[in-house]
């Protein structure tokens, strides 16, 4: 592995990230083809997951792929799926060397892509920038290995961790720069998810706005009783941008019919205690193909996810406001008896955003 390999892999990884939020159920892969020190092809997984990154890059490279090196941010696929295997396409194009970041966790591939290439006499180097690739593909790996999407929990709160005043005022705790950053984060996720309390209190549209982004994530509301306003922003836009409603057993049939009439997808989930079972909820979303979910609260849903150890990343936008104990806490009761039971995270990033502070915390290895 050389510095040149790392440089081209960094480019392949950044191309791959362009597809995040759009390629599910497939991973967002990037590919760069280099011939005699020049880039002759670039590609990334296309919306909906196909064509794959290698197909795109090979098409651009054409004849120049012969004798080239292909940098791919994931192992090239080996299976005959909806498209022929990328490993075979690389072989057929005469690629001399393949540099890959990390093995594919899909059991149909899992090392067989590398084997196929080696058997055909292609030189294979693996593990280049594997840590970054593991982070970029974390959603896809989580879905194939654990059946659930990667979960980012975003909280926008006051300095003292409150998301609303006692009277329920919750809009604009954090500033416009934070809101723009949130929209950019939404765009890189397959779905944005909130609890019913938040849907009722804030009437959010949960869309990506003002960024020139055409793609919109799925909007998910978790509501045991489907108790979500039928005249709000979500209902108004549900025929254009998908709304999925995760509900408990035997919901109110009139509400269910009304939402179905508006084009929403209803997803029945198991219930534990008074709430939707967070583990079952995420398994259902994994079955639907989601790889990356951006949860924006509220406090009950955040607590259910944390209590079941289902939060992979925390994103906090903190404003210089103090709301006090009568305000609504960002995270509901977790029922901890000892500090050692507290879900814990490691700091990955901290920086000012406008007048607020952004923190990103990643789940500690456990």
Q: Is 272 annotated as a binding residue?
A: no
**What's the CA gap between 53 and 108, in Å, rounded?**
18
Q: Is 152 annotated as a binding residue?
A: no
Q: Is 43 annotated as a binding residue?
A: no
Residue closer to ligand AOF (CB basis): 74 or 264: 74
Binding mask 25-44 for ligand AOF (x = CB under 6 A): -xx-x---------------
**What's the CA gap between 326 and 333, in Å, rounded?**
15
* Backbone dihedral region for residue 250 (phi beyond 0: left; psi -120 to 50: alpha; all else: beta): left
Query: Of residues 54, 56, 75, 313, which has the active-site annotation?
Result: 54
Residue closer to Zn ion (CB basis): 101 or 156: 101
81 lines the binding site for ligand AOF (CB under 6 A): yes
- Residues in CB range of 299: below 8 A, 6 or more apart: 163, 197, 328, 329, 330, 331, 332
| Residue of this chain nearest to ligand AOF (CB atom) | 81
Contacts to ligand AOF from residues 328-347, by CB under 6 A: none
Q: Which range binds ligand AOF by CB under 6 A, 80-88, 184-192, 271-279, 307-315?
A: 80-88
112 lines the binding site for ligand AOF (CB under 6 A): no
Q: Is 110 annotated as a binding residue?
A: no
Closest-CA residue to 318 (of 201, 203, 181, 135): 181
Q: Of 24, 32, 45, 286, which lies in the binding site for ligand AOF, with binding defined by CB under 6 A?
A: 45
Told to judge if 54 belongs to the known catalytic residues of this protein, a careful annotator would answer yes
Residue closer to ligand AOF (CB basis): 106 or 356: 106
Residue closer to ligand AOF (CB basis): 79 or 179: 79
Residue closer to ligand AOF (CB basis): 143 or 255: 143
**What's the CA gap between 197 and 86, in Å, rounded?**
45
**What's the CA gap between 71 and 81, in Å, rounded?**
22
CA distance readout (Å), 141 to 100, 106, 107:
16, 8, 11
Place of tokens 């050692």: 340
122 lines the binding site for ligand AOF (CB under 6 A): no
Q: Which range binds ligand AOF by CB under 6 A, 70-78, 164-172, 224-232, 253-261?
A: 70-78
84 lines the binding site for ligand AOF (CB under 6 A): no
**What's the CA gap between 20 and 146, in Å, rounded?**
19
**What's the CA gap between 139 and 282, in Å, rounded?**
12
CB 256 within 8 A of CB 225: no
Q: Is 300 annotated as a binding residue?
A: yes
Q: Is 328 annotated as a binding residue?
A: no
86 lines the binding site for Zn ion (CB under 5 A): yes
Out of ligand AOF, Zn ion, none, what residue 221 binds, judged by CB under 5 to 8 A for its kind, is none
104 lines the binding site for ligand AOF (CB under 6 A): yes
SS (H, E, C) 169-185: CCCCCCCHHHHHHHHHH
- Bridge partners (DSSP) of residue 195 are 222
Lateral strand order in the sheet of 313-318: 265-268, 243-247, 218-222, 191-195, 292-295, 150-157, 313-318, 356-363, 345-353
Binding mask 65-84 for Zn ion (x = CB under 5 A): ------------x-------
137 lines the binding site for Zn ion (CB under 5 A): no
Closest CB 32 distance from ligand AOF, rounded Å: 13
Going by the annotation, the residues of the binding site for Zn(2+) are 52, 77, 86
Going by the annotation, the residues of the binding site are 52, 77, 86, 156, 170, 172, 186, 198, 202, 206, 209, 296, 298-304
The footprint of ligand AOF (CB under 6 A) covers 26-27, 29, 45, 49-50, 52-54, 74, 76-77, 81-83, 86, 104, 106, 109
List residues with catalytic annotation.
54
């Amino acid at each position: 592995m050389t510095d040149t390999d790392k440089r081209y892999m960094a480019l392949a990884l950044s191309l791959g990230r362009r597809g995040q939020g759009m390629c599910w159920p497939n991973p967002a892969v990037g590919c760069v083809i280099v011939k005699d020190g020049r880039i002759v092809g670039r590609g990334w997984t296309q919306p909906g997951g196909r064509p794959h990154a290698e197909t795109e890059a090979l098409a651009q490279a054409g004849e120049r792929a012969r004798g080239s090196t292909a940098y791919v941010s994931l192992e090239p696929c080996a299976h005959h799926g909806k498209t022929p295997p990328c490993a075979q396409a690389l072989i057929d194009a005469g690629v001399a060397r393949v540099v890959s970041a990390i093995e594919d966790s899909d059991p149909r591939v899992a090392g067989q892509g590398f084997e196929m290439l080696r058997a055909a006499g292609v030189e294979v180097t693996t593990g280049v920038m594997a840590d970054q690739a593991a982070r970029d593909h974390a959603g896809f790996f989580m879905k194939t290995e654990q059946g659930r999407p990667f979960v980012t929990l975003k909280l926008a709160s006051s300095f003292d961790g409150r998301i609303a005043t006692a009277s329920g005022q919750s809009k604009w705790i954090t500033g416009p720069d934070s809101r723009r950053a949130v929209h950019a984060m939404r765009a890189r996720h397959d779905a944005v998810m909130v609890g019913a309390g938040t849907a009722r209190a804030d009437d959010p549209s949960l869309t990506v706005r003002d960024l020139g982004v055409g793609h919109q994530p799925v909007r998910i509301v978790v509501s045991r009783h489907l108790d979500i306003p039928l005249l709000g922003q979500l209902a108004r836009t549900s025929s254009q941008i998908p709304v999925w409603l995760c509900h408990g057993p035997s919901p109110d049939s009139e509400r269910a019919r009304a939402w179905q009439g508006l084009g929403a997808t209803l997803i029945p989930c198991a219930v534990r205690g008074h709430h939707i079972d967070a583990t079952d909820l995420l398994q259902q979303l994994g079955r639907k193909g989601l790889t990356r979910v951006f949860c924006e609260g509220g406090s009950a849903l955040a607590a259910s996810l944390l209590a079941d150890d289902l939060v992979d990343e925390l994103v906090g936008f903190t404003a210089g406001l103090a709301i006090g104990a009568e305000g609504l806490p960002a995270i509901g009761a977790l029922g901890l008896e000892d500090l050692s039971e507290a879900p814990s995270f490691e700091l990955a990033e901290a920086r000012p955003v406008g007048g607020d502070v952004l923190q990103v915390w990643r789940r500690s290895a456990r």
